Structure 1
Amino acid sequence: MDTAAQHQDPAFPQFHPRPANGWINDPNGLSHVDGRYHVFFQYNPDSARHGAICWGHLSSPDLVHWDEEPVALRPQPGGPDALGCWSGVVTDDGGVPTAVYSGVDTVGGYSRVVLARADRTLRSWTQDGHVAAEVPPDPQVTAVRDPFLFSFQDRRFALQGAGLASGHAAVLLYSVEDLHHWTYEGIWFSSEDPLAARHLPAEIWECPQLVRVPDSSGAETWLLMASLWLAADQHDHPNGVGYLLGSLVPNGNGLPVFTPASGGKADLGREFYAPQLLALPDRALLWGWSGEAEASEERPGRSQAETDDAGWAGILTFPRQLSVHGEVLAVEPAPELRAYRGGRLHHGAAGTLSLPGGAEVRVAGGEGTLRLVLVSAGQRRTVFADTVAGGDELRIFVDASMVEVYRHGSVPTTLRAYPGAGEEWQLELPHGAAADVWELRQPERADHETVR
């Protein structure tokens, strides 16, 4: 992709791929098909505002070189998705890639589960308006959205996020022996559970995810993740994303039962929401959505007018690799991202370091407060600050207005900041800390790769 090189906005990311214009939000349909990764996402190609949502599409052979593909799904006039093709997944249905997503056809209406089918390249899609699951006939369920499929003991099941009349958030369970006709099994898990109430406080659980993750103990550990929606939210979600780790066992009817053992936040930043997980045979990957930070008295950001003028909104995070150590979720940047390292600007450096607008920093050791700041003549803005202790290791990525901070053995912090004219990035290291800094650069493609 060369959209970044052509874009005039200094806040536009150079290494996080996205279309040059338009609104994006939730990653959808994460897939690895015939050796190629596919990331779909909520997309309005015609405006930097949320509306007329399609599915945009990026693909990559290696998580580093990305190509923008044709728009995959569009709202169909008169269809069950007439007002938007909302979040969902892509699954293999007898060898046919199939999108399973929320469709809405009336203002304020409930979403239904809609199917669309593709060829093996996932570039050519057929939308025939098939509805696989209607709104459950359950008076307790007041909201439903965002289907997610998983397999357990050779059976296929699905979850949907929900809100309940009691005020609790929940996930609903479906048996999916036939992808075209789902069987509603009831309210599966909710924030009535004490651990869920603590770690996943919400009125609706959006984008529920359930996958097995590698556990250093050898245990069979399942990760339940949900985005925490409140009625007061617009496109800012202060409760963020929570997770629970636990076990999955069958009940007498062979339906899965989830028992949580621990939990926490999936990301500590405010600009992170609606992640999706991709479970592969040897690892679990995650992408999340980072929205534009609107200016307020509490934090600098962009006004809606500035976003409209820029013509784009929203970034997807770098791919992240998940594991579990001691009942704690550990999230690291995917190893493939090392390919973005260009020239090394600092090695084992201390003190205060100047950073380019595209940089990776690895920090080890030290005791005290680390700060990432934007500095200009007489002005200093702190973007990120945290305390580090002797054994800590951090990796920090700066890409125009996108900042991702990874703490080894823990979860990241995703932030947005908009450098002004004359501002430069600086990293202030605590006493005893040492940093390596690389300037990010786009690696050349292998000879056999072609730009699509």
Structure 2
Amino acid sequence: MTQTQSDPRTIGAVAHLRPAYHVRPPRGYLNDPNGPIEVGQDVHLYFQFRPALDLEVPVEWAHASSPDYVRWNLHRPAMAPQPGGPDTDGCWSGNTVLDGDRVRAFYSGRVEGRPYQSVLTAASDDGGASFGPARQVVPDPAGAVMFRDPFVWKENGTWWMAVGAGYVDRGASIALYRSTDLSLWTAVDPLAELPRSRVGGEDTGAAWECPQVLTLDGRRIAVVASWSPEGGPAEVLSFDVDVPVVPRRVDHGSNFYAASALRDSRFGPLLFGWLTEGRDRPGWDDWAGVISLPRVVWLGADSSLRSAPVPTVDTLRVGAAVGADGVSTGAQCEIAVPHGAGQVVLHFGERERLEITLDADTLTIDRTEASLSRHAHDGRMQVADAFDPASGRPAARVLVDGSVVEVFTSAGRVLSTRVYPTTPPPWRVEAPANAQYWGLAR
């Protein structure tokens, strides 16, 4: 059959798949979040963006701001490649810090043909709306498999910079530099290194990109994106850098990558991520990529990173809670499931459904039958040690926004995935009798 817009296996320009309360430009290709920072009463977030789906278009830093972390305003790009400059073929990942009255960005500049993306800095004198010319701050390395994505922070009066790297003989690495003035940087011993291996079933990577460094319970916790030349991106991992490295997965879903940290916020340490598409390229509309909800993070008893959505997500709720079982819903909703075995099923249509199962200490998401589209990905994802009845949180908090599903458990586990039902709302919720439901609005 020739695929057309009327073919039920086609995603096409379907409005109900477009997220409403997650950061996403109306069109184009979005990937890594970069440099969240609070300036006055607002939080600013930057992200990798191409205004078209052509992945050969140089990357720029798109820009959004919010007064509350959930209602976002999109602005003009804050940074774009400068022809003939050190970022002429793309302004890639990094972060931002406050440098007196300025917002200063540190990021990777791409120039076609060069083996590495150079570490650059640029300053904003208008509160983070735009950044001036860039200059390189540390030399390119020699002999690395990969070197990119600076992350700068201040600790005990000293500025530190972590850069993602990897070496054939040493494995994945976080290069480390220090400075007193954000201008002159001195290399010191790597923050962490690990020969490529498998830990807990996860590939630790030939290199680590997008390194982030948080201080939690007085411990330095690195968050990295596992990467290899042959396989590309794998999973986001976290570990304590001051003890032997034991990476643990940060998100147990299918579509979370390139985490970006805000070390200090009004809610404490936060993490954002890129929610990848979960559908093959021929099924894309005129947009691709979404930023996750910002997540408050803490350490579990096993030293793994746990998370919950920022508290202001509650303000998206429309009206009072109602019983979830049997309710008819639109494409934006929240379902809170109490402790005890049970299952939530989102019935999109007669032949499309998403199953979320709570059983003993395990939560499972099954999207095997979530879409009739030939381009949508399927499969199951699961996490153990999922529940903590003493936490005061629901056993599972299911947040749906078009094609985005983020599930947070009471023990701080999170699973992020994407689903592409061809059937538009209204959808029907099947849930335990004591589960609660809210519609959500931006």
Aligned pairs (5 A) from 1:269-280 = 269-280=253-264
Shift of 1:273: 0.1
Q: Which moved more, 1:395-404 or 1:352-361?
A: 352-361
Q: 1:394 to 1:265 in 2, by over 3 A?
A: same
C-alpha separation between the residues in 2 aligned to 1:101 and 1:196? Answer: 30
Shift of 1:398: 0.5
C-alpha separation between the residues in 1 aligned to 2:49 and 2:312? Answer: 26
- Match of 2:349? 376
How many residue pairs end up in the alignment?
398
Of the three residues 220, 238, 250, the one matched with 1:266 is 250
- Match of 1:242? 237
- Match of 1:297? none
2:277 matches 1:311: no
C-alpha separation between the residues in 2 aligned to 1:197 and 1:70? Answer: 42
One-letter amino acid matched to 2:419? A
- Match of 2:339? 365
2:62 matches 1:90: no
One-letter amino acid matched to 1:316? I
- For 1:83, what is the secondary structure of its paired residue? coil
One-letter amino acid matched to 1:29? G
For structure 2, the residue ranges without an aligned partner over 5 or more in a row are 1-12, 362-386
- For 2:78, what is the secondary structure of its paired residue? coil
Residues 78-113 of structure 1: CA deviation (Å, up to 9, x unaligned)? 111011000001112233211110011123521111
- Match of 1:233? 231
Shift of 1:372: 3.6
- For 1:109, what is the secondary structure of its paired residue? coil
Q: Which moved more, 1:404-413 or 1:99-108?
A: 99-108
C-alpha separation between the residues in 1 aligned to 2:314 and 2:207? Answer: 37
C-alpha separation between the residues in 1 aligned to 2:352 and 2:360? Answer: 21
- Match of 2:7? none
On the 8 A contact 1:47/1:312 being kept in 2, the answer is yes
One-letter amino acid matched to 2:354? T
Of the three residues 18, 29, 38, the one matched with 1:23 is 29
Shift of 1:46: 2.9
Aligned pairs (5 A) from 1:53-64 = 53-64=59-70
- For 1:305, what is the secondary structure of its paired residue? helix
C-alpha separation between the residues in 1 aligned to 2:413 and 2:57? Answer: 31
Aligned pairs (5 A) from 1:317-356 = 317-326=292-301, 327-344=303-320, 346-347=322-323, 349-350=324-325, 353-356=327-330
- Match of 2:365? none
C-alpha separation between the residues in 2 aligned to 1:77 and 1:426? Answer: 52
Residues 98-140 of structure 1: CA deviation (Å, up to 9, x unaligned)? 111001112352111111111242113212x311112124x4x
Of the three residues 402, 416, 420, the one matched with 1:400 is 402
Residues 131-168 of structure 1: CA deviation (Å, up to 9, x unaligned)? 1112124x4x3310100112232211111011112261
Shift of 1:183: 1.5
On the 8 A contact 2:299/2:306 being kept in 1, the answer is yes
C-alpha separation between the residues in 1 aligned to 2:219 and 2:167? Answer: 27
2:210 matches 1:207: yes
C-alpha separation between the residues in 2 aligned to 1:228 and 1:63? Answer: 27
Residues 225-282 of structure 1: CA deviation (Å, up to 9, x unaligned)? 1011122335xx4x31111136xxxxxxxxxxx2258652110011100011101166
On the 8 A contact 1:262/1:328 being kept in 2, the answer is no
On the 8 A contact 1:223/1:245 being kept in 2, the answer is yes
- Match of 1:434? 434
Q: 1:122 to 1:152 in 2, by over 3 A?
A: closer
Q: Which moved more, 1:397-406 or 1:50-59?
A: 50-59
- Say which structure, 1 or 2, has more relative contact order (CA 8 Å, 6+ apart): 2
C-alpha separation between the residues in 2 aligned to 1:271 and 1:108? Answer: 30
Shift of 1:381: 3.5
One-letter amino acid matched to 2:331? G
Normalising by the residue count of structure 2, what TM-score does the alignment of the two structures yield? 0.83
Indicate the RMSD between aligned Cα atoms, in angstroms: 2.6
Q: 1:426 to 1:366 in 2, by over 3 A?
A: farther
Aligned pairs (5 A) from 1:129-168 = 129-137=134-142, 139=143, 141-166=144-169, 168=171
One-letter amino acid matched to 2:395? E
C-alpha separation between the residues in 2 aligned to 1:178 and 1:231? Answer: 35
2:110 matches 1:104: yes
- Match of 2:75? 69
Residues 265-307 of structure 1: CA deviation (Å, up to 9, x unaligned)? 110011100011101166101110011112xxxxxxxx32331
Percent identical pairs in the alignment equals 29
Of the three residues 256, 272, 280, the one matched with 1:287 is 272
Q: 1:260 to 1:435 in 2, by over 3 A?
A: farther
Q: 1:8 to 1:196 in 2, by over 3 A?
A: closer
